[in-house]
Structure 1
Amino acid sequence: MKKLTLNLCLGLTVLLGGCVTQYSISEREMEQYLSKEIHFEVKQGNQLIGAQVRINDISVRLGEKPDTMSVSAATQVSITNPIYPLKAQLSASFEAKPWYDNATHSVYLRQLELVKVESTPKDIEKAISSATPQVMNYLRHFLESQPVYVLDTKDSNQALMAKMTESIQVVPGKLVLKFTK
């Protein structure tokens, strides 16, 4: 019985070792992680004059361009002032190169580039154009300094993947974790 158990374990190890060389994270998994873990809100000024920026929604597209992750963020902007208070929705799209940090078992973004900014309502675009660069800089810094995905080392499967991951690759629709051999 002991020999049978040992042979079974050895067989499973060889089978799994030969088959598992990568693991992938889908766009949806990344969006769920970002929605759950990332909370971005900035308030500046006071009740009379100020600004408030909050991300409402983040979407992810992987591999539309080689090794590139696209991140779109819907952002609520409120500017208070006694003359003309403004509320608008900004939609910003960024492209970046994701990278894996072995020490933190996390995926981060680098080389974040702003691709497009749109506002709703459209006629408010001129009024908020002076605040747009500052808002985009906040978003850029925030997205580059926060992980966009972290392997959960409390989960035994993900803990094993975290130890084995050597690099990542972006392919259409998913982020592939490449394991050491």
Structure 2
Amino acid sequence: MGRSHRATMVCCGTNPFYQVVSMILQSMLLSLAMLGQGSYDINEQQINQYLQSQVQVDKQLELPGIIKAHVQLEQSDVQIGRQSPDTARVFGKGKLKISLPDQTQYDALLNMTYEARPRYDKAQSALFLDNMKLIDYKLEPAAAEQKFGFMLRMLLQSMEKRLETQPVYKLDDKDPNQAWLKENLLGLELSPGKIRLLTKPKDQL
């Protein structure tokens, strides 16, 4: 598969990593709005408890004419600021059903790791994931890795730059809590084990 072919790739659906982080950040923002305080810390344990109880990912990904992959994540874990102070990693495990153009299907287990830098853009009132990249992935059994590993990597990587330009979440003026956040949220900071959401000082609220 040559370079010119890779440049034309598109994919359907939403990156599983993207959906997981979107749900986490939405929950954090709404919690902050209800508290109405100057800052709000969320630690890894809280995020991972939320993932276990709330987040379900069931997505169809595609490289048209080459491969389709139905991903069902069964477990997701987040590490914040461990490898780098301003980045987060999501580790996902789940089932993968691969479909080829000739209707042949294969079942496999998927382990994958994504990394990104969450950023709040105040001008757009939106959250973005900068520098998103696939760190690692593995297919089981080994035969599936040998047969589809290269194509799956291309599929997962093809979404990175496209998703960087799309907000994970955009605040909605019609929702009172989100309208409050739009006026008062300044940004977010990552440090080992936690994310801090920052708003205007209390005496300015």
User: For this structure pair, what is the TM-score category when the shorter chain's length is used for normalisation?
Assistant: 0.5 to 0.7
SS of the residue 1:20 aligns to: coil
Tell me what 1:138 maps to. 158
Tell me what 2:108 maps to. 88
Among 44, 64, 67, which residue is 2:82 paired with?
A: 64
Distance 1:148 1:128, change over 3 A: same
Distance 1:23 1:129, change over 3 A: same
Larger radius of gyration: 1
Q: Report the alpha carbon displacement of residue 74 of structure 1 after superposing the two structures with TM.
A: 4.0
Among 120, 127, 133, which residue is 2:140 paired with?
A: 120
Deviations along 1:41-75, whole A, 9 cap, x unmatched?
224557xxx52223322543222231111123446
SS of the residue 1:108 aligns to: strand
SS of the residue 1:161 aligns to: helix
Identity score, percent: 24
8 A Cα contact 1:55 1:73, kept in partner: no
Name structure 1 gaps, 5 residues minimum. 1-18
Distance 1:176 1:101, change over 3 A: same
Among 71, 80, 84, which residue is 1:55 paired with?
A: 71
Q: Report the alpha carbon displacement of residue 109 of structure 1 after superposing the two structures with TM.
A: 1.0
Deviations along 1:88-108, whole A, 9 cap, x unmatched?
232210111111122443322
Amino acid at match of 2:164: E
Amino acid at match of 1:52: K
- Report how many aligned residue pairs link the two structures: 158
SS of the residue 2:164 aligns to: helix
Amino acid at match of 1:64: R
SS of the residue 1:64 aligns to: coil
Moved more, 153-162 or 163-172: 153-162
